[in-house]
Amino acid sequence: MARVLVLFAHPGQRHSKVNVEMAKVARGLEGITFVDLYADYPTFNIDIDLEQARLLEHDVLVLQFPIYWYSTPSLVKEWQDLVLEYGFAYGHDGDRLKGKRLLIAATAGGDEQAYNPQGRNHFSFRTLLSPLEQTANLCQMEFVPPFVLFSASKAALDGRAGQHLGDYRAILEALRDDRFDFAAARHFDVLHHDTLPIQGATQ
């Protein structure tokens, strides 16, 4: 059993269609720690010691958020700036996160085709998240290919939302139960319904 921590960040939950449902899934799973960062830190006064302790108590960190301007909502950046301290997460003696794994679970507004050199967004989704990937590298964590829902605002209409929620549940359970195939995952740029590296998956 791996210990899984889900840090959920969404500043506009009133209007959320998929993320809040995903959060409910995560919150409802046994053996998984779920944290709503915007609920715990509505004034951005992050408790650094508490957050570091949480990281140490878990093996897998899942950051779940909607993509804002090709990046995270601002509180996640604040969390990185404060919690991933020198001497803790990186730098001299900063190896407390070594060997842990980081999975990004994001929703994006644009469709998959927009995220490539010829598309409207000019970069692949994975490339755009390279700051987070390098953050994981510096912290000696394994960066798992991000789990993405593209065209998220349309997902509720075309039925992909329900599918995505099921996949999210499957991924979290697989991480928890050590059935997530990290080796297979490395072959993919991003993870979605068609590229789930889960052992014994029947979907």
Partner 1 sequence: MNGFVFQAFVYLLAAVVSVLVAKRLGLGSVLGYLIAGVLIGPVLHLIGNETEDLQHFAEFGVVMMLFLVGLELQPRALWEMRAKLVGLGGLQIVATAAIVMTIAMALGQVWSVALTIGLVFSLSSTAIVLQTLGEKGLLKSDGGQASFSVLLFQDIAVIPMLAFIPLLALPELSQHAEDVAAASGGHASASLVDGLPGWQVAIVTLAAVAFVVIVGHFLSRPIFRIIAAAKLREIFTAAALLLVIAIALLMSVVGLSPALGTFLAGVVLANSEFRHELESDIEPFKGLLLGLFFITVGASIDFGLLWAHLATVLALTVTLMLVKAWVLYGLAHSFKLQGSDKWLFALGLAQAGEFGFVLLSFTVQNAVLPPDLAAVLLLVVALSMMLTPALFILLDKVILPRFDRRQAEEADEITEPGSIIIAGLGRFGQIINRLLLANGHKTVVLDYQADVVEGLRKFGVRSFFGDAGRPDLLHAAGLPSAKLLVVAIDDVERAITIVKHARRENPKLHIIARAFDRGHVYRLYQAGADDIVREMFDSSVRAGGYALTALGMHPYEVEKSKAVFVKQDRWGLRQLAPLWREDVEVFNNAEYIARSKEIGAILEAAMLGDRSALHDRTDRGWTPPGARERPDEEKTAG
Determine, following the binding rule CB under 8 A, whether residue 17 of this chain makes contact with partner 1.
yes
Determine, following the binding rule CB under 8 A, whether residue 38 of this chain makes contact with partner 1.
yes
Q: Of these, 24, 28, 31, 42, which contacts partner 1 (CB under 8 A)?
A: 42
Task: Tell me the CB-side half-sphere exposure of residue 201, using CA atoms within 13 A.
Answer: 22
Quickly count: other Cβ atoms within 10 Å of residue 192's Cβ. Answer: 18
Q: Least CB distance from residue 71 to partner 1, whole Å?
A: 11
Quickly count: other Cβ atoms within 10 Å of residue 187's Cβ. Answer: 10
Determine, following the binding rule CB under 8 A, whether residue 43 of this chain makes contact with partner 1.
yes
- 37 token code pair: 């960062």
Cα–Cα–Cα angle for 141, 147, 151, rounded to 5 degrees? 145
Q: Least CB distance from residue 6 to partner 1, whole Å?
A: 15
Q: Of these, 1, 30, 69, 117, which contacts partner 1 (CB under 8 A)?
A: 69
Terminal Cα-to-Cα distance of the chain (whole angstroms): 22
Determine, following the binding rule CB under 8 A, whether residue 132 of this chain makes contact with partner 1.
no
**Alpha helices, DSSP H only, in 45-180?**
48-56, 74-83, 125-128, 130-138, 152-158, 160-176
Q: Binding to partner 1 (CB under 8 A): which residues in 84-113?
A: 107-110
Residue 87 or 109 with smaller CB distance to partner 1: 109
Residue 63 or 97 with smaller CB distance to partner 1: 63
Please report, as ranges, the residues that interact with partner 1 according to CB under 8 A: 10-19, 36, 38-40, 42-43, 66-70, 107-110, 121, 149, 151-153
